[in-house]
Amino acid sequence: MTDAGRSRPTPLSRRGFLSAALVGLTQKAGRPIAGGFVNESHVAGHQLRDGIRQPAPTKQRRASVVIVGGGMAGLCAGWRLAKQGLDDFVILEMEREAGGNSRWGENEVSAYPWGAHYVPIPGAAAGLVREIFADLGVYDGQTWDERHLVHAPDERLFLHGRWQEGLEPAVGPTRRDRDQFVRFTARMAELRATGRFTIPMAVGLGPQGVPPEDALSMAAWLDRERLDSPWLRWMVDYACRDDYGGLARDVSAWAGVLYFAARDADDSGPLTWPEGNGWIVRRLLQRLGTRVESGQVTYRVERAGRAWRVLTPTTAWTADVVIVAAPLHVATRIVAGAPPVRVTSSPWVTANLTLEGWPRETGFPMAWDNVVFDSPALGYVVATHQHLRRHVPRTVWTYYWALAHQPAAEARRWLLAQDYATLRDRVLDDLSRPHPDIREHVSRVDIMRFGHAMVRPTPGLLSNPGWRALQDGQDRLFYAHSDLSGLPLFEEAQYRGVLAADRAIATIGRG
């Protein structure tokens, strides 16, 4: 696979094409802006959902292990199998490019992420994360390669018309608000010390554990703690939107607390790259080589005696063991006999903006992560931030927007109904508050819509019987996706992939 076509937009729908073309002619003040929707996958996804008949496969192939889904979990399952000496496996990825939510793009200015863009320095529980980074040459067992640690300044916040350093609001909070920030931080330190909040979560919790914090929302937990400062509530809401795509009222206290309590307080990271976690994907793809087959949508996984049959439009695979590393809303539709489970998926939008210069701004200088206080979106990350050159004339910004404020299904419908130009203008309008002349600098905006980006860790998810049944898998079939943790994080995807690979090896070993 080459990078050449990575940022090429997929063909637009007729409506999208017409409106994009019209806007090209009638742009607001500023230069003409190219771009369109990229990586649109809802058509293939909805065909699976609606059970649209697929062509009958003409080829028959066999592998000891078939992995369905080439996102981070599927790729890490392959990494583990290969490391353990099991070579007879294949990874079937439905998209043209593997990587899932960790895909990336590239243009003449920089590589840039389409989704995941960082990994925090792993804590004590995350031995597997250290192992993979040691394999990839980022960690030598003691120190982290500084080229991959975020360069300063890492974060800033646009508040009251200017940028400030860090994300905790500096101007506005009263003494009472400040006291609540201090109390919140102390509570998180106490909860961290219990050892229950870890990433991966199964280490602190045990594989079958259901913590009491799963039963209530993060907003209810804050109420219970009498933490009502609007500034603190903004920060917690921001954290829940950032990691889970939902507001504190829609996310369990378990997940909300975990965001703050699972990481070591002296975290010197995170690790990041211009293409975000696509950097990891690239290296895994190099290692896995032809064992990753892209453009292979799996539409059915069914029993064939003791084995499993995995069907794609071209090939009927027979496998001793199947690892289903597709998201749960897909996995439960394509696998015969999968436990029925209803989960909420968070819809997201990301946009990559190519800029021909740096827009005007006021206050603290440009950081890696740039957050706008009263925006519905999460701000933007600068892809060229890790470049070592001092003068970078052109840049790419990745804009993140979790559609958290409406019910998820409603937000998804809204998202699919929008044309490119409307979404592009929303992004530019939002960014023109901190950067009034942004339209004079942007030459391209590509937009990716994720209808089902990730499972939202809603209250009660960990005690949902269907979701728990998925943890066990079926006879010789194991599920592996970050959705199984209810925590959309690199570490959880890797953990789930490795766990499924180890189960596959144990099963094959038993014969």
Q: How far is the CB of 356 from ligand FAD (least distance, A)?
A: 25
Rounded distance, CA 62 to CA 304, Å? 12
* CA dist., res. 130 & res. 123, Å (int): 9
Of residues 218 and 311, the one with the C-beta less far from ligand FAD: 311
Cα dist. 493→267, 294, 355 in Å? Answer: 21, 19, 33
Beta carbon nearer to ligand FAD, 163 or 400:
400
Quickly count: other Cβ atoms within 10 Å of residue 267's Cβ.
11
Give the number of other Cβ atoms within 10 Å of residue 22's Cβ. 12
Q: Which residue is nearest to ligand FAD (CB)?
A: 71
Query: What's the closest the beta carbon of residue 487 comes to ligand FAD, in angstroms?
Result: 9
**Cβ burial, residue 146 (10 Å; 0-12/13-18/19+):** exposed
Helix residue ranges per DSSP H, 50-91: 72-83
Closest approach of Cβ 351 to ligand FAD, in Å?
Answer: 11
Closest CB to ligand FAD among 132 and 222? 132
Q: How far is the CB of 338 from ligand FAD (least distance, A)?
A: 13
Min CB(210)–ligand FAD separation in Å? 21
| Residue closer to ligand FAD (CB basis): 166 or 313 | 313
CB of 336 to ligand FAD, least distance (A): 14
CB 96 to ligand FAD: min, Å: 10
Q: How far apart are CA 279 and CA 102, in angstroms?
A: 9
Shortest reach from residue 354's CB to ligand FAD, in Å: 19
Q: Rule CB under 6 A: which residues touch ligand FAD? A: 48, 68-74, 92-95, 98, 100-102, 115-119, 297-298, 325-327, 330, 334, 348, 350, 400, 450, 453-454, 481-482, 488-490, 493
User: What's the DSSP call for residue 34?
Assistant: B
Decide whether 101 or 386 has the Cβ nearer to ligand FAD: 101
Cα-Cα-Cα-Cα dihedral of 248, 252, 253, 259, to 10°? -80
Which is nearer to ligand FAD, 229 or 346 (by Cβ)?
346
Say which residues have a Cβ less than 8 Å from residue 183's Cβ, sequence separation at least 6.
225, 227
- Which residue number, 100 or 256, has a Cβ lying nearer to ligand FAD? 100
| Residue 49 vs 62, nearer CB to ligand FAD | 49
Element (H, E) at 22: helix 14-25
Q: Tell me the torsion sign for CA atoms 167, 170, 174, 179.
A: positive
CA–CA dist 276, 363 (Å, integer): 26
Tokens of 249: 């009222």
Tokens linked to 171? 């101007």
Residue 92 or residue 121: which is nearer to ligand FAD going by CB?
92
Q: Which is closer to ligand FAD, CB of 232 or CB of 324?
A: 324
Give which of 102, 203, 72, 93 is closest to 494, Cα–Cα: 72
Please state the closest distance from residue 477 (CB atom) to ligand FAD, in A. Answer: 14
Shortest Å, Cβ 249 to ligand FAD = 21
Q: Could you tell me the two tokens for 225?
A: 């703690």
Rg over CA atoms, the chain: 22
d(CA 159, CA 171): 8
